[in-house]
A = this chain, B = another copy of it.
Amino acid sequence: MADIDSGSEQPVPRKRADARRNEKALLDAAAAAFVTSGVDVPVRDIAVRAGVGVGTIYRHFPSRADLIVAVYRHQIEACAEAGPALLADSDTPHAALAQWIDLFVDFLVTKHGLAAALQSDDAAFQTLHAYFLDRLVPVCDQLLDAAVAADEIRPDLDAYGLLRGVGNLCIGAGNDPRYDARRLVDLLVAGLRVR
């Protein structure tokens, strides 16, 4: 993203050094805690790991959702950017869609509790919900449109519905070896095909 102001002076006079240090420590601590205990890990645990007080968490990340987004932003961006690339490289739009959804599923199933948080109607997770949707729905829409235009899938499901369905199927994956979210998503995508 380019700066809004084209002038040379920065209107935000740079944060204090300890604040920058703590923000980084918090991101690292949260990432580690999410791996160990899932995204539902108590806020106090993250604070202890980072060696800061709980107040410091809320100063940097107004809601838990903001912290989750900050931790996973890079991976979500990478997923979003992979969409057009796959569409360009794959043999068919449907193959690109299937590969892209695999990427999304791989991301979700390795983040304990994230898929569940994504679907939660708790107000605290609204930012999370919104970020995923804003970033991924347009990409999915593009892939879906291309596949429909190529007459490979039925036109009766929108990107929002598909993403929520895939996200839902990923809930609880990783907790239970008997539940294979990937296979179910494959079946769902298979069900989309025209026959």
CA–CA, A179 and B160, complex, Å:
8
Point out which of A120, A164, A178, A187 has the most chain B C-beta atoms below 10 A from its C-beta: A187
Interface majority SS (helix, strand, loop, mixed), chain A: helix
From B120, B161, B180, B189, A183 is in contact (CB under 8 Å) with: B161
A159-195, CB under 8 A of B: which get 1 and which 0? 0110011001101100110111001101111111001
A123 within 8 A of B: no
Q: Which residues of B contact A69 (CB under 8 A)?
A: none
CA–CA, A113 and B102, complex, Å:
28
B172 and A184 contact, CB distance less than 8 A? no
A121 within 8 A of B: yes
Q: Which residues of B contact A192 (CB under 8 A)?
A: 187, 191
**For the side of the interface on A, what is the size category?**
20 to 34
B161 and A165 contact, CB distance less than 8 A? no
User: Which 5 residue pairs across A and B have the least CB separation, nearest first?
Assistant: A191-B191, A187-B191, A190-B191, A165-B184, A168-B168
Task: Tell me the minimal C-beta distance from A18 to chain B in angstroms.
Answer: 38
Chain B residue with Cβ nearest A179: B164
CA–CA, A192 and B184, complex, Å:
9
A168 and B160 contact, CB distance less than 8 A? no
A183 and B156 contact, CB distance less than 8 A? yes
Q: Which residues of B contact A165 (CB under 8 A)?
A: 169, 184, 187
